[in-house]
Structure 1
């Protein structure tokens, strides 16, 4: 009996050292803080990934509202896309089964990663830059919501906001209220420098720097170019990827020629770094029927579709992968017909994270 107990205790000790200890060290080091300060939530299959997020009750978003976990029709075939090409095709060509129903990929679909899984994906990169107009800015805001596990104010700098501003920019309003843009998180350092202040949610991992760089002109401003170079050029290991996510549809007012010049410019800047910089172009969202007639383009979705079709070819010529957001937003609610709330932005951010997960890192 004593020998049996000793064997069990030895097995438990080995399991702790081999499995739990390395993971705790990995996650504990990811913010440069002891792991005891992290409250990692392990999301079991079928559980709501948002239930422990700050603001989960106030914002009224559950994982089942925006993500449909696939049911494998064939146990031998995974429902998840096997590589980057099939992932982008599936997400660009997917759809919804009804208005505001969860979006699903065509033929295969994407994963909904937990925060700990997202952190492990980000560990593979030198830096991540989100560059362009308000479309990619919204994706970056949702990216911060996921990394800070805060649905209420995860995309903004609540430590510089008044109580009234925090109420005005809470939940979906941080994506929809134009007045909240000035408080939006623009880079990782803005959040990290407030660690220990008790004035806002911290990142659950922060070893890979990331930033949003606004670009709405061609050529891009010297400031924007410098921000990108500072983020990527000086990073160690030039072969470790520094992904770039780019959008310019709203910034160019759906001008194909201007967007092409912008992509050519950023391809040149990325090439000049002599580094591994994979690039993703985000196509424009669709317009809804409640879009006002006085906002361009007058042709509405026919213009958006034409722009998407032409620019996709130009993007691939300039070594960009392409993710269309048209089908994702086609049956999604929007208060003004052209701007979408937190639920859509979270899906867009998770799609980008899935793209990141498929990138080669060797």
Structure 2
């Protein structure tokens, strides 16, 4: 689900509702028709072509980035690493460690998006969370935001209603808010903001919902400047 939030953030920094969240520079004409606007998120063949790092945009379509045009010294690298299981495989841990810039002068913030991979089991999630936190910031000095899953929609498959339905999601969100505070990191719950939203498959939000999540993340980042 963080993949979609990253897509929405890329829409904002590229100021492109049509293709801002995907690697449109290598799209065929058919893909451009298929993946336009909201379909960046709603069509699986489109959503899997999301942007994983700002460096890819700089390499392939640098003129689409709006921030450098307004702030010449802007050099933020927005990137995503996916680790959706625990224990975390060795190669995924190595990739995460490599992705963390060791330059102490460069400002960093980490956004940890948690989906449904743990079946909302708090103990399993905490093992994952502690492992990631120990990897990125053992001393807990860097800003970290944990985002927990949005609400379930009416298209949610029946077999997941008990373990991943709205009651389970609310309990999970409340539990993780407490655990985040104990670990001195921030928490963003998204159940309340999404309970009346459009979830095309009962799980994932469309572009509008993800843009709202992205704005909430931007507000959090802005607070770090205060």
CA contact (8 A) 2:152 2:203 kept: yes
Confirm whether residue 235 of structure 1 aligns to residue 98 of structure 2: no
Q: How does 1:116-127 map to 2 (within 5 A)?
A: none
Q: CA deviation at 1:195?
A: 3.8
Structure-2 residue corresponding to 1:29: none
Q: How does 1:187-336 map to 2 (within 5 A)?
A: 187-195=53-61, 201-205=64-68, 206-237=74-105, 241-272=107-138, 276-295=141-160, 297-298=162-163, 300-336=165-201
CA distance in 2, matches of 1:139, 1:285: 12
Q: CA deviation at 1:289?
A: 2.5
Q: CA deviation at 1:203?
A: 4.6
Output the TM-score relative to the length of structure 2. 0.88
Number of paired residues? 221
**Cα gap change, 1:203 to 1:222, in 2 (>3 Å):** farther
Q: Give ranges in structure 2 of 5+ residues lacking alignment.
A: 69-73
Confirm whether residue 177 of structure 1 aligns to residue 43 of structure 2: yes
Q: CA deviation at 1:153?
A: 0.6
CA distance in 1, matches of 2:164, 2:86: 24
CA distance in 2, matches of 1:251, 1:271: 23
CA distance in 2, matches of 1:231, 1:185: 15
Q: Any idea what the Cα deviations from partners look like across 1:20-40, whole Å, max 9, x if unmatched?
A: xxxxxxxxxxxxxxxxxxxxx
SS, match of residue 65 in structure 2: coil
Of 144, 153, 164, which aligns to 2:10? 144
CA contact (8 A) 2:54 2:79 kept: yes
Cα-Cα RMSD: 2.2
SS, match of residue 16 in structure 2: coil
